[in-house]
Amino acid sequence: MSIIEPQESTLYQQLAETFASAIHNGTWAPGSRLPAIRRVAGAHQVSVNTVLNAWQVLEDRGLIEARPQSGYFVRTVLPALAHPRKHLTEVTSPSSEKLDLIDTVFAAQNHPDYTNISLACPQNTDFYPVVKLSRITASLLRHHPEIIGRYALPPGNERLRREVARRTMDLGFSLTSDAITLTHGCMEALQLALRAVTRPGDCVGLETPTYFYLFPLLASLGLKSVEIPTDPERGLSLDALEMLLREKRLNALIVMPNVQNPLGCSMTLADKKRLAQQVNQYQIPLIEDGLYSELQFCWPLTPAVKAFDRDGWVMYCSSFTKTLAPDFRLGWIAAGRFTAEIARLKAVSSMAEPALLSETLAQFLASGGYDHHLRSLRRRYAAQLDEARGLIARHFPRGTRATLPQGGFVFWVELPGTVDSVTLFHRLLQEKICVTPGELYTLSDRCHNALRLSCCYPFDERYCYALKRTGALACDMSGLAPGA
Amino acid sequence: MSIIEPQESTLYQQLAETFASAIHNGTWAPGSRLPAIRRVAGAHQVSVNTVLNAWQVLEDRGLIEARPQSGYFVRTVLPALAHPRKHLTEVTSPSSEKLDLIDTVFAAQNHPDYTNISLACPQNTDFYPVVKLSRITASLLRHHPEIIGRYALPPGNERLRREVARRTMDLGFSLTSDAITLTHGCMEALQLALRAVTRPGDCVGLETPTYFYLFPLLASLGLKSVEIPTDPERGLSLDALEMLLREKRLNALIVMPNVQNPLGCSMTLADKKRLAQQVNQYQIPLIEDGLYSELQFCWPLTPAVKAFDRDGWVMYCSSFTKTLAPDFRLGWIAAGRFTAEIARLKAVSSMAEPALLSETLAQFLASGGYDHHLRSLRRRYAAQLDEARGLIARHFPRGTRATLPQGGFVFWVELPGTVDSVTLFHRLLQEKICVTPGELYTLSDRCHNALRLSCCYPFDERYCYALKRTGALACDMSGLAPGA
């Protein structure tokens, strides 16, 4: 900050108050962009510096936020969530009620008549280059129909593995194709990784909250879990992890260092380095879920933890299902020191991935179309997240908080403590609206008032109505008025 | 047999001797068809009955065999294999040498430069309706490109499950589509079935010899196995099974009642009924591998054990990878009382199968093209098996025996006891020929002189050369001359 003249000091504070009132009374709605600084300076007859100082005041108060290359925006809802109220380092297994709740929510999420504002799988044609992919597949079938008659074998189509290997450079590590095994989506990559490095009864460290499908996956493998405190802005607590590692209480660890599901946050570069160093030092396999890494809003992408993996303890898992072709279900794993074991497990688990689909993706990647597609997807999701947060700010009960994702399309909403999100889920279901209650994302009772929401669908009337209706019901249940 | 006149008695015996000599000296080569009975009767000036009686003598001596609707053929090699020399009901786990050998053979089988006369996955365009399938896929992509952009969910494409359900009638059981979960090939069906009904440390009953990839699969799940005597003509010994069930030594059972791999045999109808009754009585899950059931040479098909499953203890697994579209890797499981558990496991293991491929198969099945395709495939494999057995009879060492498959394209060859098939495998590999040593198919040392061979490839010069060369090397190793 530059030193401020006394007269200027009054001016910028006055300006800040003017805009603060305008924000509070809704003249500048949550999520809207403030006018350009020069325009404000001109209109209010003050210097650019004065406007900058005023904006600083508003930013400090949490009313506005700067976005690189975009300007200043009225903050939608507060990005910071309360930190976990206690350390959750007890070993747990999911109750049958928890597993039943997961089944119920999963079934509801996939009900064709429901408006889904939480499912993390975009189902819209405009979002994917389906026409280009179709053309590649059709051309392959025309010129090489024999591809259908061949038996695909692990580790999978060489050309696709080469393209995947080449792309790992964007995430800070450079592999060759033989370090990669193709899998049936990221789900199978996680499943194989766990089977490669654990035995029933073992204990796996998880973020909290974490991807809810990990609970039935761990249960199906007879694995227990420990939930490690996870900051909604910085991700996994490495101090808590250090403690667990020192006490030898973990056999493996699953982390989403970039664009965490459900929080949307990414770890800092320093934390990623430290995490890589920790798992190498303690020789504990880290299963890095990179599903949303390529949907980070920043460019160049921030690196994966795998980029700092010295001795091959990091098993990097990812997939094209969320970014390119959901139906193809093509995922991959770069399993470091466990590569041979993973290839063997893949063969006895489901053999290999179809060459037709693999070759289609490989040709699409080689054409350079993927980067272009990712750029437009990132822009779209960033804009939709902002709109969704704006709606929440206006329609959810006062005191509601939501995370500010670093990429992707899911975010985490904490409602006032009196709102039970499982009850809210059931009430909304009667109106054919589907949300995901926070309880799914932890085995503790800590997230009873949270929701995971998603904005991967087109931002149409139906979606907006469902989001507003969720807010209205939450206001009803909490007795609180809407508004940030 | 009708009562034979004294004079006729001499005549038919003379005729039998004449033909026996002609078979022994190669006038009638192994695998060749004998002339029509009326023609023989005319040529030798005897009654049709006399010829029939002479053929009965030759059949009893194992020199010729009747084939329904085809006439009489010179038997290629003896179909009966020695019965297992001892009961193999000890609980075992594969040694690391065994698992390494499986890896070595698997790698060799998939080497593009090797002539493969043992791999059980046909890789030839003419064998599959790839053009028809390509057209369906291309048309789907043209009219519904959005199919690629959707996220497939378990239990999988409804239309394909309906078509599969409809087809189960041919195997004697009639299911509805919700009894079926689509899987990533039959391998995943087996894997999920095992995970649904066993815990590490459990013991699984297997046929012996059995599909060799079951050993690493069981090892990856921490399961032990017991090998149950299996007759090369009738399949699993149900008396031995009864003993194990009574002693409560099995937690699950994997059986291929139709067209067993590697033997090629099918169980009798009475045995199938008894097996269904046993697993229902003792409440032991039976994983029925029906991979080759639709490639039975008889029509109508003989039923599956699932057809007699009273209380849902039979989990029927199958796939289209061996019969229709290897690259699609679409399998399915009808898991009886474990259906809900399987659907859950599939979701956390690899989610679901691509709608594009599933819908393609569903449309192909609905068009009726599959039955036509199966008929031509069965005819082709029956003819090729016969040719292969003929070559073996002429080129393998005297005393070699081979099974007479009831369908499919794999068969089992027992070489003279002095030939070690692992040594033979390594010698042949130096000449870029790949066979599968019998040792792979058991954890015992009982099959050291056996090979599994396959004739799913076109019967070209390369294949014939490799088969003859295998015989020549075996003659070399045994010091025996070729010829049945």
* Residue ranges of chain A with per-residue pLDDT less than 50: 1-6, 79-87
How many CB pairs (< 8 A) connect A and B?
A: 190
pLDDT bucket at B82, cuts 50 / 70 / 90: very low
Question: ipTM for the complex?
Answer: 0.85
Residue B145, chain A, CB below 8 Å: the answer is yes
CB proximity under 8 Å: A 150-169 to B:
150-153
A394: helix, strand or coil: helix
Q: Does B345 touch chain A (CB under 8 A)?
A: yes
A148 → closest Cβ in B130, B185, B216? B130
Which segments of A36-179 are extended strands (E)?
A: 64-67, 71-74, 91-92, 115-116
Note whether A458 contacts B: Cβ–Cβ < 8 A: no
**Contact at 8 Å (CB) between B420 and B448?**
yes
Phi, psi of B53, deg, nearest 5 = -65, -40
The neighbouring-strand residues paired with B408 are none
3-state SS assignment for residue A73: strand
Given this model, what pLDDT does residue A4 score? Answer: 42
**Amino acid (1-letter code) at residue B483:** G
Mutate which: B141, B213, B339, vs A, most A CBs within 10 A: B141
Cβ contact (<8 Å) for B183 and A350? yes
Best CATH choice for the domain B129-370 from the list 3.40.50.80, 3.40.640.10, 2.60.40.420, 3.30.200.20? 3.40.640.10
At residue B395, the 3 state secondary structure works out as helix
Q: Flag whether residue B137 sits within 8 Å of chain A, measured between CB atoms.
A: yes
Closest approach of A195 to chain B, Cα-based (Å): 8
- Residue B58 in this model has a pLDDT that exceeds 50: yes
| B340 in contact with A, Cβ within 8 Å | no
| Contact status of B327 with chain A (Cβ, < 8 Å) | yes
B128 interaction partners in chain A (CB closer than 8 Å): 148-149
Chain B residues lying within 8 Å of A106, measured CB to CB: 347
Phi, psi of A48 (to 5 degrees): -55, -40
Q: Dump pLDDT digits (tens) for B239-294.
A: 999 999 998 889 999 999 999 999 999 999 999 999 999 999 999 999 999 999 99
Q: In whole angstroms, what is the distance from residue A13 CA to residue A15 CA?
A: 5
Contact residues on chain B for A199, CB-CB shorter than 8 A: 200, 222
For residue B274, the surrounding DSSP H or E stretch is: helix B269-282
CATH 3.90.1150.10 domain extents, chain B: 91-124+372-478
Distance CA(B192)–CA(B341), nearest Å, equals: 9
- Averaged over B204-213, what is the pLDDT? 95
- Which residue did the predictor score with more confidence, B457 or A280? A280
Q: pLDDT tens for residues A285-337? A: 999 999 999 999 988 999 999 999 999 999 999 999 989 999 999 999 999 99
What are the contacts of B104-109 at 24+ separation with CB within 8 A? B105/B425, B105/B434, B105/B436, B105/B437, B105/B440, B106/A347, B108/B425, B108/B429, B108/B434, B109/B434, B109/B436
Annotate B161-176 with b (16+ C-beta within 10 A) or e (fewer). Answer: bbbbbebbebbbbebe
Residue found under tokens 């936020």? A65
pLDDT at B196 over 50: yes
β-bridge mates for residue B207, sequence order: B228
The values of phi and psi at residue A321, to 5°, are -65, -30
Q: Are strands A286-289 and A314-319 parallel, antiparallel or unpaired?
A: parallel
Is A68 in CB contact (< 8 Å) with chain B?
no
Mark yes or no for CB contact A149/B137 under 8 Å.
Answer: no
Chain A CA closest to residue B222: A199
For strands B286-289 and B314-319, give the pairing: parallel
pLDDT at site A484: 56
**Side chain identity at residue A375, one-letter code:** R
pLDDT for B5 equals: 47
CB–CB contact B357 A353 (8 Å):
no
Q: What is the pLDDT of residue B87?
A: 45
pLDDT surpasses 60 at B484: no
The answer to whether the CB of B183 falls within 8 A of the CB of B67 is: no
Of the ranges A220-229, B136-145, B438-447, which one carries the lowest mean pLDDT score?
B438-447
Closest CA to B65 of B93, B96, B32: B32
Query: A125–B149: do the CB atoms touch at under 8 Å?
Result: yes
Please, is A44 exposed, middle or buried when counting C-beta atoms within 10 Å of its C-beta (0-12, 13-18, 19+)? middle
- Distance, in Å, from the CA atom of A194 to the CA atom of A333, rounded to the nearest integer, reads 12
The DSSP call for residue B80 is P
Burial label, B422 (beta-carbon count in 10 A; 0-12, 13-18, 19+): middle
B interface test, pick of A98, A111, A135, A151 with most B CB neighbours within 10 Å: A151
Q: Long-range contact list for A98-103, CB < 8 A, 24+ apart?
A: A98/A215, A98/A439, A98/A440, A98/A443, A99/A215, A99/A216, A99/A219, A101/A422, A101/A437, A101/A439, A101/A440, A102/A212, A102/A213, A102/A215, A102/A216, A102/A440, A103/B344
Do residues A229 and A208 make contact, with C-beta atoms less than 8 angstroms apart? yes
B83-135: per-residue pLDDT in tens? 444 445 577 888 999 889 988 988 888 888 898 888 877 766 678 999 999 99
Instruction: Say whether B187 and A133 touch across the interface (CB within 8 A).
Output: no
- The helix or strand, by DSSP H or E, that contains position B453, with its residue range, turns out to be strand B450-454
Residues of chain B neighbouring A254 (CB-CB closer than 8 A): none
The answer to whether residue A139 neighbours chain B at the CB level (below 8 Å) is no
Of A398, A402, A357, A378, nearest in space to A483 by CA: A398
pLDDT band at residue B6 using 50, 70 and 90 as cut-offs? very low
**Chain A positions in Cβ-Cβ contact with residue B216 (cut-off 8 Å):** 344, 347-348
Backbone angles phi, psi at B250, to 5 degrees: -120, 140
- Give the number of other CB atoms < 10 A from CB of residue A371: 12
The token duo for A186 is 């990221």
Q: What are the E-state strand segments in A378-435? A: 401-402, 410-414, 433-434
CATH 3.10.20.440 assigned to A6-74: no
Which stretches of A19-138 are assigned E, i.e. beta strand?
Answer: 64-67, 71-74, 91-92, 115-116
Instruction: Name the residue of chain A whose CA is nearest to B347's CA.
Output: A187
Instruction: List all residues 6 or more positions away from A101 whose beta carbon is below 8 Å from its beta carbon.
Output: A422, A437, A439, A440
Looking only at the bridges linking them, the beta strands covering A433-434 and A115-116 are parallel
Distance of residue A151 Cα from the nearest chain B Cα, in angstroms: 5
CA separation, residue B385 to residues B126, B258, B273, B412 (Å): 17, 17, 29, 11
**B380 close to A (CB below 8 A):** no
Q: What are phi and psi of B457, to 5 degrees?
A: -90, 160
Kindly report the average pLDDT of chain B as a whole number.
89
Shortest alpha-carbon distance between residue A102 and chain B (Å): 11
Q: Look at B123 and A220 and tell me if their CB atoms are within 8 Å.
A: no
Q: Is the peptide bond before B303 cis (omega within 30 degrees of 0)?
A: no
Domain spanning A129-369, CATH architecture: 3-Layer(aba) Sandwich (3.40)
In chain B, what residues touch A122 (CB-CB under 8 Å)?
Answer: 149, 151
Phi, psi dihedral angles at A223 (to 5 degrees): -100, 145
Within an 8 Å CB–CB cutoff, is residue B329 touching chain A?
Answer: yes
B125 touches chain A (CB under 8 A): yes
- What's phi and psi for A483, nearest 5 deg? 125, 140
Question: What CA–CA distance (Å, rounded) separates A409 from A406?
Answer: 9
Please tell me the total number of residues recorded for chain A in this structure: 484
pLDDT of residue A84: 41
Measured CA to CA, the distance from residue B336 to residue B185 in angstroms comes to: 19
Kindly give the pairing relationship between strand B203-208 and strand B252-255.
parallel
Other C-beta atoms closer than 10 Å to the C-beta of B461 total 7
Query: What's the Cα-to-Cα distance from B467 to each of A42, A319, A460, B391, B433, rounded to whole Å?
Result: 91, 43, 66, 7, 9
Q: Which of B121, B147, B329 sits opposite A327 (nearest CB)?
A: B147
pLDDT greater than 90 at residue B412? yes
CB-based contacts of A16, cutoff 8 Å, min separation 6: A53, A54, A55, A57, A58
pLDDT at B182 over 70: yes
Specify the domain boundaries for CATH 3.40.640.10 within chain A. Answer: 129-369
Once rounded to an integer, what is the mean pLDDT over residues B136-148? 94
Are the C-beta atoms of B83 and B229 separated by less than 8 Å?
yes
Note whether B106 contacts A347, CB cutoff 8 Å: yes
Radius of gyration from C-alpha coordinates of chain A: 24
- Alpha-helix runs per DSSP H in A396-483: 421-430, 461-478
Q: How far apart are CA A68 and CA A195, in angstroms?
A: 42
Distance of CA B158 to the CA centre of its chain: 29
Domain spanning B91-124+372-478: CATH 3.90.1150.10: yes
What does the alpha-carbon distance between residue B74 and residue B393 come to, in Å, rounded to a whole number? 11
Residue A368 near chain B (CB below 8 Å): no
Cβ contacts of B325 on chain A, cutoff 8 Å: 148-149
Q: Are residues A113 and A225 in contact, defined by beta-carbon separation less than 8 angstroms?
A: no
Give residues with Cβ within 8 angstroms of B361, minimum separation 6.
B133, B160, B163, B320, B324, B325, B328, B330
Q: Chain B neighbours among A 191-230 (CB < 8 Å)?
A: 191, 195, 199-200, 213, 216-217, 220, 222
Three-class DSSP category at B264: coil
CB contact under 8 A, B142 and A134: yes
**DSSP H stretches of helix in A168-237:** 185-197, 214-220
Residues carrying CATH 1.10.10.10, chain B:
6-74
- The half-sphere exposure of A19 on its side-chain side, counting CA atoms within 13 A, is 31
Q: Cis link prior to A209 (omega < 30° from 0)?
A: yes
pLDDT the model gives residue B3: 42
Choose among A128, A153, A353: nearest Cβ to B149: A128
| Beta carbons of A468 and A390 less than 8 angstroms apart | no
CB contact under 8 A, B191 and A142: no
Interface of B with A in 169-198 (CB under 8 A): 183-185, 187-188, 191, 195
Give the nearest chain B residue to A324 (CA atoms).
Answer: B149
pLDDT for A106 equals 86
Please give the C-alpha separations between residue B299 and each of A435, B374, B456, in angstroms, as whole numbers: 53, 11, 20
CB neighbours of residue A469 within 10 Å: 17
Q: Are A350 and B329 within 8 A, CB to CB?
A: yes
